[in-house]
Amino acid sequence: MDLGLENKTVVVTGGSSGIGLATVRACLEDGANVALCARGADRLQEVHKTLADAYGEARVFASAFSVLDKDAVDAFAIDVAERFGGCDALVTNAGQGRVSTFADTSDADWREELELKFFSQLHPIRAFEAMLRKSDSGAIAAVNSLLAYQPEPHMVCTSAARAGVQNLLKSLATELAPDIRVNSILLGLVDSNQWQKRFEARDDQEQSRDDWYAALARKKNIPLGRLGRAEEAARALVFLASPAASYITGARLEISGGVSRFS
Query: Are residue 131 and residue 167 in the same domain, yes or no?
Result: yes
Query: Are residue 110 and residue 165 in the same domain, yes or no?
Result: yes
97: in domain? yes
Query: Are residue 72 and residue 163 in the same domain, yes or no?
Result: yes
Task: From 170, 164, 175, select the one nearest 115 (Cα to Cα).
Answer: 164
Query: Are residue 51 and residue 114 in the same domain, yes or no?
Result: yes
The pLDDT value recorded for residue 211 is: 87
**Per-10-residue mean pLDDT, the chain, length 263:** 96 96 98 97 97 98 98 98 98 86 95 96 98 98 95 93 97 98 96 81 87 89 93 98 98 94 65
Length, in residues, of the chain: 263
Query: Are residue 32 and residue 120 in the same domain, yes or no?
Result: yes
3-state secondary structure of 5: coil
Query: Are residue 120 and residue 213 in the same domain, yes or no?
Result: no
263: in domain? no
Q: Are 67 and 73 in contact (CB under 8 A)?
A: yes
The pLDDT value recorded for residue 262 is: 65
The pLDDT value recorded for residue 4 is: 97
Query: Are residue 31 and residue 125 in the same domain, yes or no?
Result: yes
Query: Are residue 149 and residue 217 in the same domain, yes or no?
Result: no
The pLDDT value recorded for residue 18 is: 93
3: in domain? no
Query: Are residue 167 and residue 46 in the same domain, yes or no?
Result: yes
1: in domain? no
Q: What is the DSSP letter of 59?
A: G
Query: Are residue 108 and residue 174 in the same domain, yes or no?
Result: yes
Task: From 46, 44, 50, 34, select the one nearest 64 (Cα to Cα).
Answer: 44
29: in domain? yes
Structural domain count, the chain: 2
Global confidence as pTM: 0.94
The pLDDT value recorded for residue 222 is: 94
CATH classification at residue 186? 3.40.50.720
260: in domain? no
109: in domain? yes
210 burial class (0-12, 13-18, 19+ CB within 10 angstroms)?
Answer: exposed
Query: Are residue 212 and residue 118 in the same domain, yes or no?
Result: no
Q: 238 is in which domain, residue-wise?
A: 9-190+229-255
